[in-house]
Structure 1
């Protein structure tokens, strides 16, 4: 399926693995991946299709590294499309409070930060990010319409969002999501404090975003669900 570009923002796809009870991590937010090697390969393919990968600072603090494209066939595919070996890795952090000693900053990848004025100021005179995107709204939080418009102007046409739930919730509220890939893994986690694919304040049932199921695949015990937000075009 070929995504059609939006006039002022990238085509945005959320890619997450979750437990059968809808959790993307345990209550301690441990850096343990739920998915199997099949899910990891699926995630790497989605990353390879993207011009940039967006993740929240909390997810980065937990994992410490970015998801890179390592499969030789996927690297060849990117080269054949005229793309660099690795998509841009974009971290979202309103505060800019990110440990510069994380392994993320040693990986051979392009790194951008999307933040507020205050958050970007922390990184103006220090190494780590190749580009700082300031997208501050009236509430001094990240304004996603501004942020995604800036990404589009910089040539980002396809954006993969790898979490966490707070970030996805913010993007959903801003109505800038197009698709979701959700891998349902055969385990139960439970816990009121365990994050879900869409956290934050949430939406009332009358305001819920409706989805169109595009594809279902099963590999061993996992289900791969592909949704599109209703009203979006291919």
Structure 2
């Protein structure tokens, strides 16, 4: 499986304000770039915090990109994946509609009543881990289901956890010309943070876009690959 993390952050590294509300950071050119990334992916992944805060749909917006997927024998939209240890995704969340298959990655702590409430034909549960989702196990299940190229759109807790688990292959970040600030505002990689064995990145290219830049990194693994 090839995992690409994509995000947009302010010049000071924030994904949104301390209120966890969406802040417009990038512009139309970056939106189009993200849409192309989605169209090129087998699945788009977010954490449950993103679902609760933004209620994203995570579908491809450009009809031409959808047609290209269909012509290639793929579904109109990539699969959607939510990392949601206790199945807190709302039953009316847009990510659960029938536009595409959705995989809900849960732990054993997700109650049967929540699973029953969320159950629908286009939803697949992947159970891995006792109290929290075991990401390597869950992603291995997704790969067995045929999801080879995966795009992760956040949030910061999930991104940190994926780096911590050694699952990230590439990182692309739009850096906008805005300061958000706030010690409690989410950053690109939240979680516990690293104190040693920091993940290393190789900067492959920089692209000017809208009023900012997109930075493209490849993760440098310990074996040098």
Fold match (TM-score > 0.5)? yes
Q: 1:38 to 1:107 in 2, by over 3 A?
A: farther
Q: 1:193 to 1:107 in 2, by over 3 A?
A: farther
Aligned length, in residue pairs: 221
Deviation at 1:199, TM superposition (A): 0.5
Partner of 1:3: none
Partner of 1:212: 202
Q: Give CA deviations for 1:48-86 in whole Å, capped at 9, x if unaligned.
A: 111011100110111112221121221233224322111
Is the 1:18–1:34 contact (alpha carbons within 8 Å) kept by the matching residues of 2?
Answer: yes
Is the 1:87–1:109 contact (alpha carbons within 8 Å) kept by the matching residues of 2?
Answer: yes
TM-score (norm 2): 0.92
After alignment, is 96-105 or 59-68 more displaced? Answer: 96-105
Q: Which runs of 4+ in 1 moved over 6 A?
A: none
Deviation at 1:120, TM superposition (A): 6.1
Tell me the C-alpha RMSD between the 2 structures: 1.7
Partner of 1:227: 217
Deviation at 1:111, TM superposition (A): 1.2
Whether 1:136 and 2:126 are equivalent positions in the alignment is no
Whether 1:103 and 2:81 are equivalent positions in the alignment is no
After alignment, is 32-41 or 190-199 more displaced? Answer: 32-41
After alignment, is 212-221 or 117-126 more displaced? Answer: 117-126
Distance in 2 (CA, whole Å) between partners of 1:157 and 1:203 is 28
Please list every run of 5 or more consecutive structure 1 residues that lacks an aligned counterpart in the other structure: 1-9
Is the 1:120–1:132 contact (alpha carbons within 8 Å) kept by the matching residues of 2?
Answer: no
Whether 1:70 and 2:61 are equivalent positions in the alignment is yes
Distance in 2 (CA, whole Å) between partners of 1:142 and 1:15 is 21
Partner of 1:6: none
Is the 2:55–2:93 contact (alpha carbons within 8 Å) kept by the matching residues of 1?
Answer: yes
Is the 2:28–2:210 contact (alpha carbons within 8 Å) kept by the matching residues of 1?
Answer: no
Distance in 1 (CA, whole Å) between partners of 2:107 and 2:24 is 30
Q: Give CA deviations for 1:172-199 in whole Å, capped at 9, x if unaligned.
A: 1111110011000110000000001101
TM-score (norm 1): 0.89
Please list every run of 5 or more consecutive structure 2 residues that lacks an aligned counterpart in the other structure: none
Partner of 1:171: 162
Secondary structure of the corresponding residue to residue 95 of structure 2: helix
1:192 to 167, 179, 183: 183
Partner of 1:23: 14
Partner of 1:158: 149
